[in-house]
Amino acid sequence: MPKQMNFQASAESLREQLVAWRRDFHAHPEIGFQEHRSAGIIAARLRELGYQVQTGVAHTGVVGLLEGKQPGPVIMARFDMDALPIAEENETDYVSQNPGVMHGCGHDAHMAIGLGVATLMAQRRDEITGTLKLVFQPGEEGLNGAEVMVQEGVLKNPRPDVVLITHVWNDNPIGTIDVTPGAVMAAGEKWNCTVRGKGGHGALPHQTVDPIVATALIVTALQTVTSRNVSPLEPAVVAVCAVHGGDTFNVTPPQVEMEGTVRSYSPRVRETVLRRMREVIEDVAAACGATAELEITPLTPALVNDAEVAEVVRAAAEAVVGPENVSSGQRTMGSEDAAFFLREIPGCYFFLGSANAERGLDAPHHNPHFDFDEDALPLGLAVMMNALGHYLF
């Protein structure tokens, strides 16, 4: 059991402030790389608290450094800031004031927790052994803001020894925390494919090479990649999410466009899936007399938690919600760009249960009705502080 300081009471004492921050961010959501207002509030607060502040990292990111009195490890915590292009359908007094934009994933909570960490750590600055690096990241939602921050040197000067990240999680009830060692989120790829045949009259199929039939066979054959080429014990997804071809009822089009995504945990499975997709697509097209071109764009690597850091976070969480409310095993085939940090630095990404079904606060993430139980704010802050405190006090 790692040494433990419990910050539950001090986190609880910030509750009103946390809720106020969260509701203000919620009412003023900003799309990725446009988080100017949010970043401005965060940078101003960090400066007031005596942090060294760097702004404009990856366009709108903010980095705050707090050096303790004694030298020691550099511990980073990451909080994402962006909202989604969703029209909010909640009726609360903190509903989005920015039409068509909504904090539908809970990143408003993350910013509030981040400001809470900044506040509590600044109060104990004299006791810190090492350096706290707070990273407020833009553009998490499909924009790979973390990768841009890494390219701009966020993991240097000083280089963190450990990275901690949390996400409110409406799949799990309030008062629970999940800390899972190993891979918890998948590597994600985007793929596009053009199937080319020969267009012609719909009534004269023998004069055409029909790309629609070829595409239908390809979609079906692709199902065998995960079911026949990957071990049933290994997670993988091959999804066809868009098929576009043809304009009218009596013309066979010359080509069809498809796109979709691939998800995997292990690099070996990823390599197998991408290789088999290419073979299936090209060879099935050839069997139809057509040709097909597959283009694969990597999005994020798998997000892998370090076992030792996960153990520290587990103890930090148990001290707040009790061992019976700390689970292990939450995994998703979703992707998260924090993987770019965790690929380089050992760390842990933990799930902060935030749903309250009785109060109707259990809509899924990215849903226009998404909202969560604000008890998650002091709980998340306490766990984050306990885990940071393990390294810094």
Show which residues are catalytic: 82, 140
Q: Which amino acid is at 184?
A: V
SS3 content of the chain, % helix, strand, coil (to 5): 35, 30, 35
CB of 104 to Zn ion, least distance (A): 7
Nearer to Zn ion, 101 or 105 (CB): 105
- Side-chain half-sphere CA neighbours of 331 within 13 A: 20
Q: Which is nearer to Zn ion, 81 or 120 (CB)?
A: 81
Q: Site residues (CB under 5 A) for Zn ion?
A: 105
Smallest distance from the beta carbon of 218 to Zn ion, in angstroms? 30
Sign of CA dihedral 50, 56, 57, 62: positive
Q: Which two tokens stand for residue 375?
A: 């008890």
Q: Count of residues for the chain?
A: 393
| 8 A C-beta contact, residue 163 and residue 346 | yes
Let me know if 16 is exposed, middle or buried by CB neighbors in 10 A (0-12, 13-18, 19+): exposed
Q: Would you say 102 or 154 has its CB closer to Zn ion?
A: 102
Residue 105 or 316 with smaller CB distance to Zn ion: 105
Shortest Å distance, C-beta 73 to Zn ion:
27
Beta strands at 177-178 and 326-327: parallel, antiparallel or unpaired: parallel
Q: Which residue is nearest to Zn ion (CB)?
A: 105
- Which tokens in the block code for residue 227? 């079911």
Q: At what angle do helices 107-123 and 15-27 cross, to 10 degrees?
A: 140
* Contact in structure between 39 and 98 (CB atoms under 8 Å): no
**Toward Zn ion, which CB reaches closer, 145 or 245?**
145
- For the four alpha carbons of 180, 8, 171 and 92, in that order, the dihedral sign comes to negative
